[in-house]
Structure 1
Amino acid sequence: MDNHFLWGGATASYQCEGAWNVDEKAESMWDHYLHQENLENGDVASDHYHRYEEDIRMMSEGGQNTYRFSLSWPRIIKNKEGEINLKGIEFYTKILDTCKKFNIEPFVTLYHWDLPQYWEEIGGWLNHDVCVAFAQYAKVCFEYFGDKISLWTTFNEPKWFVVNGYKIGNYPPGYQDTAKTMQAAYNVMYANSLAIEVFREGNYSGEIGIVHSYTPVNGVDDSIETKIAMRYADNYCNNWILDTAALGEFPIDLIAYLSKSYDISFMKPEELRKIKQYTVDFIGLNYYSRTLVKSYTEGETQLQFNHSGKKGESKVLIKNWFEQVKDPSNETTEWDTEIYPKGLQDGLVEAYKRYKLPLYVTENGIGVREDVSVDQINDEYRISFMNDHINAIFNAIDLGCDVRGYYVWSPFDLYSWKNGVEKRYGLVAVDFVDNQVRKPKASYYWFKKMIETNGALIKRKSY
């Protein structure tokens, strides 16, 4: 392994910071949505806003040399007019300075889902003005933090917040509308290009990429019908983000198919040229599982995700495209996520072959219910999960892939969107009931030893 390989953990502003209305922070769409729906929220979360130094110190003491986190747009920009909140700038400056103090490389995301509510109120990602506003927000971040950050990403997981927010309806703004989904998807990818343009034109140091929720696609057999379903699934799951960000082009067969039923006049030639011109330097891939599919031509579209932790509630069936199925020979989590490390190896090989860009595994982890009242959480299941997925990365590197970092989700327990805080991913336990006490789990110490040997302790296997 490269001695400069980045080993760390990843978080998101809304999921860990808390302090939702502190120091002149504006309301985010998630603040508004969860309060309005009276759902468990991230008002306090892991209280990282007040405990960031403790958290970053624990990362360093755990051997980690990098921290992937996101900036909160509504914490930095107060209103549509672009007024800068200097208290928000001060907070992130302190985080960055603390990273430097503990020899932690920051890996910074501009947008991890928490759109300012003042933009959501006038259409959110359906409003083309938000694209320009995002680029202006990005410029503020580059100007204030550019000398402290060398690895930037524009968006975290466009597929998840666009499809869940505009098609499935289980995330804000809660639409179930294909035309709106297309418009939001286009605007997000156009905003991505505008932010990259600002980065390039400003001659800021470092590199800029995008982070994608990567689910490599497999088929149940080698039939022609399955191969067609796989292409539909790959376009739905991956290609409209990765092809567009890395190659500068939306998948032409996807656009051609959608244009038969939907108006695509919002895709302007001059904007498509900009998307083509301003592409990413690297790709971050968040990997939890693959997508296994078969052909689906008989029934209606059904999109349902498991937020309860009761197995069997997830359904992904898209009429005339594909059905996502489970492999009965593989274990799944309580939230219906298949545990399949081979998918990471195969996916890295596939992505590197297609895009020829440096890759980072920007999230990987397992969410479970855990009793944090005990003195030591012996999370052997997490150790096994991490071992097998890091092994998959090593295998991909052996096969010639340029993979430069691994980020566990997450360095400490945090709020997990509509799964609340019962779905725990952290290497460090957070007692959300008893004063936010932090306690390292067994996986924290295992990861430290693994990093100290630069991966030599990994139990290797072939897939």
Structure 2
Amino acid sequence: MEPKDRERESNGSDFVSHHHHFSGSSFSGRCSNVYSRKDFPEGFAFGAGASAYQWEGAVNEDGRKPSVWDTLVHSRNISNGDITCDGYHKYKEDVQLMVETGLNAFRFSISWSRLIPNGRGHVNPKGLQFYKNFIQQLVNHGIEPHVTLYHDDHPQSIEDEYGGWLNRRMIKDFTAYADVCFREFGSNVKFWTTINEANIFSVGGYSNGLTPPGRCSPPGCSSGNSSTEPYIVGHNLLLAHATVSRLYKQKYKDIQGGSVGISVYTLAFKPSTSSKDDELALQRAKAFYFGWILGPLTFGDYPDEMKTAVGSRLPVFSEEESEQVKGSSDFIGIMQYIAATVTNMKSKPSRPDFDSDIGASITCTPMKQDLQDTPRIEYLQAYIGAVLKSIRNGSNTRGYFVWSFMDVFELLTGYDYSFGLYYVNFSDPHRKRSPKLSAQWYSAFLKGNTTYLGSQGIAQLQSNFSSSS
């Protein structure tokens, strides 16, 4: 899930956004109370999401140049986002689907490689016009754009020139890119996320090498250092976020009235046993996954658990940097995907990396998919009910975004798993979109036609879906 905020402004990280991605895991916070959309605060954002590389396609069109994502998938000869949903050409059709679904918000990212193909300097006029057109299309249909500036896809030229996020030069170039986005799109965009899942990007790209730019210690990768690079990158991401946030507040906020936040990948952790060792491992996992980003944003420094485990490999904030990072997010996007069990690791591998620094093994639940995705509806019901309960208990949550609006190219699984509300036929040159059962449920909920559905309600929806298919 994920959300965004309206009207009220926060001077810290009190606006929490949820972005939900169903993976077939059970949800322990099942909510049995009946509820409807009317129970949520006025202006609450109900949306869905996608990202540039995963949805747009058209990677070689209209001046776009390769990003690190293009390079990674093609160098490994795996499935890619060259065409994917072809959102670049089908965005008007997709906005119409959003309207029909009942969304009042949509979360998406801008491709740095499409807007500023060389990473700095020249702005691509066709890329600029595409995003202006898409954003205007959303606004014209009453859908609030929630824009992510960075979703794992910086220009390859920057990576080649100085190593991308491993180099502090990246902060300057990223800030200049953000400045263009604020200037060109800010009149229609009030919610900006600087970095998508800053924690998992650092781990995936620089500790295990599974995601762009695909670095880790040899022999797993051709180049990298899993013991240091994730922490260097995480540090630079936080400094870049804080710098961009400060830029917005100083240059644009009084005129545009928007807010700037960051998103964090989260897991529903639980210890594998009730032993003290596993309980301590659970606390370390939370510190490394959540506290790594949220600690500096809230307190200006990393959690003690990380300092102890990582030692001198963990970068240090100067006093000035600490003050700059602390309180730099108007909201936090909480990306909740799957559940995981945590088991204490009795011995550490000889080569340290992010996982071994935690001193625990983390086992995630398997993923499932289906066009008639009844389990997903049950999960959506439970999670939205839990969000409502948290609001009633005082949470300042402002929105909920389902990942993803339609099937897209997925980061780790390509097209093997699909999490969209809408099915996309990737074998069809026209990339036909078809609603899944969950899309029908979500739409009915958003339009106020249903409240919390019990098993009978789901069975009826299932029957209606089968007869209309």
TM-score, normalised by the number of residues in structure 2: 0.80
Whole-angstrom CA distance in 2 between matches of 1:123 and 1:285: 28
Whole-angstrom CA distance in 1 between matches of 2:357 and 2:252: 46
Q: CA deviation at 1:82?
A: 2.1
Whole-angstrom CA distance in 1 between matches of 2:111 and 2:363: 36
Structure 2, unaligned stretches of length 5 or more? 1-39, 217-225, 456-469
Q: CA RMSD in A?
A: 2.4
Contact 2:120–2:173 (CA<8 Å) still a contact in 1? no
SS in 1 for 2:412: helix
* 2:440 aligned to which of 440, 445, 448: 445
SS in 2 for 1:393: helix
Residue 141 (structure 2) pairs with residue 141 (structure 1): no
- Cα gap change, 1:31/1:295 in structure 2, threshold over 3 Å: closer, same or farther? same
Structure 1, unaligned stretches of length 5 or more? 305-315, 327-331, 336-366, 371-376
Aligned to 1:242: 294
| Equivalent position amino acid for 1:389 in 2 | Y
- Cα gap change, 1:160/1:455 in structure 2, threshold over 3 Å: closer, same or farther? farther
Q: CA deviation at 1:88?
A: 1.1
Whole-angstrom CA distance in 2 between matches of 1:458 and 1:401: 24
Q: CA deviation at 1:67?
A: 0.4
Contact 1:74–1:115 (CA<8 Å) still a contact in 2? yes
Residue 249 (structure 2) pairs with residue 200 (structure 1): yes
Whole-angstrom CA distance in 1 between matches of 2:438 and 2:404: 11
* 2:362 aligned to which of 324, 341, 348: 324
- Cα gap change, 1:302/1:407 in structure 2, threshold over 3 Å: closer, same or farther? farther
Whole-angstrom CA distance in 1 between matches of 2:247 and 2:155: 21
Aligned residues: 402
Whole-angstrom CA distance in 1 between matches of 2:357 and 2:325: 30
| Equivalent position amino acid for 2:289 in 1 | C
Q: CA deviation at 1:301?
A: 7.8
Aligned to 2:332: 283
* 1:414 aligned to which of 408, 414, 426: 408
| Equivalent position amino acid for 1:188 in 2 | L
Q: CA deviation at 1:221?
A: 4.6
- Cα gap change, 1:3/1:275 in structure 2, threshold over 3 Å: closer, same or farther? closer
Whole-angstrom CA distance in 2 between matches of 1:76 and 1:381: 39
Whole-angstrom CA distance in 2 between matches of 1:282 and 1:448: 26
Aligned to 2:97: 58
* 2:311 aligned to which of 249, 259, 281: 259
Whose RCO is larger (CA < 8 A, sep 6+)? 2
SS in 2 for 1:448: helix
Whole-angstrom CA distance in 2 between matches of 1:404 and 1:388: 18
Q: CA deviation at 1:237?
A: 1.2
Contact 2:349–2:356 (CA<8 Å) still a contact in 1? yes
Contact 2:284–2:358 (CA<8 Å) still a contact in 1? no
Whole-angstrom CA distance in 2 between matches of 1:405 and 1:75: 28
| Equivalent position amino acid for 2:173 in 1 | A
Whole-angstrom CA distance in 1 between matches of 2:357 and 2:242: 31
Whole-angstrom CA distance in 1 between matches of 2:299 and 2:339: 22
Q: CA deviation at 1:299?
A: 4.8
1:5-404 equivalences in 2 (<5 Å): 5-121=44-160, 122-176=162-216, 177-204=226-253, 205-260=257-312, 262=313, 264=315, 267-276=317-326, 279-300=328-349, 318=356, 321-325=359-363, 332-333=365-366, 335=367, 368=369, 370=370, 377-404=371-398
% identical aligned pairs: 32
Contact 2:227–2:352 (CA<8 Å) still a contact in 1? no
Instruction: Deviation per CA, 1:360-396: give whole Å up to 9, x if none.
Output: xxxxxxx52x5xxxxxx42222222211221221222
Q: CA deviation at 1:207?
A: 1.0
Contact 1:15–1:415 (CA<8 Å) still a contact in 2? yes
| Equivalent position amino acid for 1:294 in 2 | T
TM-score, normalised by the number of residues in structure 1: 0.81
| Equivalent position amino acid for 1:393 in 2 | V
Contact 2:285–2:358 (CA<8 Å) still a contact in 1? no
| Equivalent position amino acid for 1:409 in 2 | W
SS in 2 for 1:417: coil
- Cα gap change, 1:263/1:318 in structure 2, threshold over 3 Å: closer, same or farther? closer
Contact 1:109–1:153 (CA<8 Å) still a contact in 2? yes
Q: CA deviation at 1:438?
A: 1.3
| Equivalent position amino acid for 2:177 in 1 | Y
